[in-house]
Copies of this chain bind each other. A is one copy, B any other.
């Protein structure tokens, strides 16, 4: 695994949130990353000045951190060949596969106290008590004497019915229940991908999908996505003229992260293109139920004549991420094959979750309306605050979904993220959502937290932005906030 400077910064995660001097915190962060295997032995660390720039700290901080780690036996520096990772001192050398690490997944594992987190996509708690949906008696389901690898028949049927009601006739046999949309992506990856295969996807896109596909050994090719109309078909066609992907992955409705909605005509065209060229389309509609002031067009599956479209859905965003209920809708023969992979993976999803999901789906429309009002107010609050406090930034006004897609101008969002952390707010630079590491001038801002936290978070962000402006002007980190 070759790691460049930005890769190492990413793997460090939230290193700068403790009370210790910065150089000790940096050394501690590096140790943790080395212990976890995220920064493996023999990695060449960046030169001190480069690393300092990327971390928005002074060069002396990096010098002191390297010196400490050398002294303790973690690193080795040689004249002319830089600073190399030796590994944990005296540790047993064990080989592992490299494990994908992306910064959002890191955030889940490594929470600083008092931080305002603008990194994840977790909606606020649903007021289910009002809907009398919180008490359950398990006696009935406990009598189920089987593994149900495809999922609970009632839930499969309920999900099929939802598609049928929207005019897309669907049977239970076309639905596989998964542990959220993420497992659906992992199963699709396992079914189609061998090491070296190509996947075409939107640029930018959902990082969890990139992880799943890369984990299966795929090469990812991004196609630029218009923040209003979504995946650009002209560019897609150009890409397809030179390579043959195993499938095309996209989030056509309230695109993650841009919020784009692919218009109906473009959907038809894309499906026709796929059918003509025998291409598989994997559409991820995890955010599609989150209509705010824009209606979601029918899914790609609505326009398909054959079996080319695989549709992924989830209850995580509308209902609750802790439920872990997602699904794949596809042709029955494909569902059979995905089910076999699901069996090898975990034999089937938990049945209690599925009973709850089935009952909750009865309240789909009520929950959708509740979620819409909640998110609309938060989106508008965040847009207003950004306009007030950060007027230089360019921002989308998405008609649905969970995210604003914000261009912070020529500045580097990675540096801003480092500074923001020290002001107590977590943001994700856009390049972690890009197959080719582009969009480093962008930030994805979810409008999900409680209004007071949104307000305080944007205030902190604007202070970090001001400090970056100072930094840009002097060309050096200022000593006011960097020790």
Q: Are A320 and B135 in contact (CB under 8 A)?
A: no
A393-430 to B contact mask, C-beta < 8 Å, 1/0: 00000000000000000000000000000000000000
Q: Give Cα A100–Cα B260 distance, bound, in whole angstroms.
A: 38
Q: Are A339 and B109 in contact (CB under 8 A)?
A: yes
Q: Are B105 and A340 in contact (CB under 8 A)?
A: yes
Q: Give Cα A145–Cα B93 distance, bound, in whole angstroms.
A: 38
Q: Which residue of B lies closest to A336 (CB)?
A: B36
Interface: A79 (CB within 8 A)? no
Interface: A236 (CB within 8 A)? no
Query: What is the count of identical protomers in the complex?
Result: 2
Q: Are B135 and A136 in contact (CB under 8 A)?
A: yes
Which residues of chain B are within 8 angstroms of A182 by Cβ–Cβ distance? Answer: 343-347
Q: Give Cα A476–Cα B207 distance, bound, in whole angstroms.
A: 61
Q: Are A149 and B324 in contact (CB under 8 A)?
A: no
Interface: A322 (CB within 8 A)? yes
Name the one of B93, B97, B135, B343 contacting A108, with C-beta atoms under 8 angstroms.
Answer: B343
Name the one of B36, B144, B341 contacting A322, with C-beta atoms under 8 angstroms.
Answer: B144
Q: Are B129 and A193 in contact (CB under 8 A)?
A: no
Which residues of chain B are within 8 angstroms of A124 by Cβ–Cβ distance? Answer: 145
Which residues of chain B are within 8 angstroms of A348 by Cβ–Cβ distance? Answer: 108, 324
Q: Give Cα A34–Cα B186 distance, bound, in whole angstroms.
A: 25
Q: A97-B194, A352-B356 are in contact. Are A35 and B324 (CB under 8 A)?
A: no
Q: Are A135 and B137 in contact (CB under 8 A)?
A: yes
A118-149 to B contact mask, C-beta < 8 Å, 1/0: 00101011101100001111110111111111
A361-373 to B contact mask, C-beta < 8 Å, 1/0: 0000000000000
Q: Which residue of B lies closest to A126 (CB)?
A: B142
Which residues of chain B are within 8 angstroms of A148 by Cβ–Cβ distance? Answer: 108, 322
Interface: A192 (CB within 8 A)? yes
Stretch from A154-162, A208-216, A219-227 forming part of the interface with B: A208-216
Interface: A255 (CB within 8 A)? no
Q: Are B345 and A323 in contact (CB under 8 A)?
A: no
Q: Are A128 and B142 in contact (CB under 8 A)?
A: yes
A100-113 to B contact mask, C-beta < 8 Å, 1/0: 11000100110100
Interface: A60 (CB within 8 A)? no
Interface: A47 (CB within 8 A)? no
Q: Are B344 and A208 in contact (CB under 8 A)?
A: yes
Q: Are B136 and A100 in contact (CB under 8 A)?
A: no
Q: A322-B142, A344-B182, A344-B215 are in contact. Are A122 and B105 (CB under 8 A)?
A: no
Q: A137-B134, A179-B179 are in contact. Are A320 and B142 (CB under 8 A)?
A: yes
Q: Told that A92-B307, A135-B138 touch, could you supply 19 new A-B pairs with CB distance under 8 A?
A: A35-B333, A37-B333, A37-B337, A94-B307, A99-B341, A101-B340, A109-B150, A128-B139, A128-B142, A129-B139, A144-B322, A182-B345, A182-B346, A182-B347, A208-B344, A321-B347, A323-B352, A324-B347, A352-B352
24 contacts between A and B (CB under 8 A): A35-B333, A92-B278, A94-B278, A97-B193, A97-B194, A100-B340, A108-B343, A109-B336, A109-B339, A111-B146, A125-B142, A125-B145, A126-B142, A136-B136, A142-B320, A179-B345, A179-B350, A183-B345, A208-B347, A211-B344, A321-B347, A324-B349, A324-B351, A353-B353
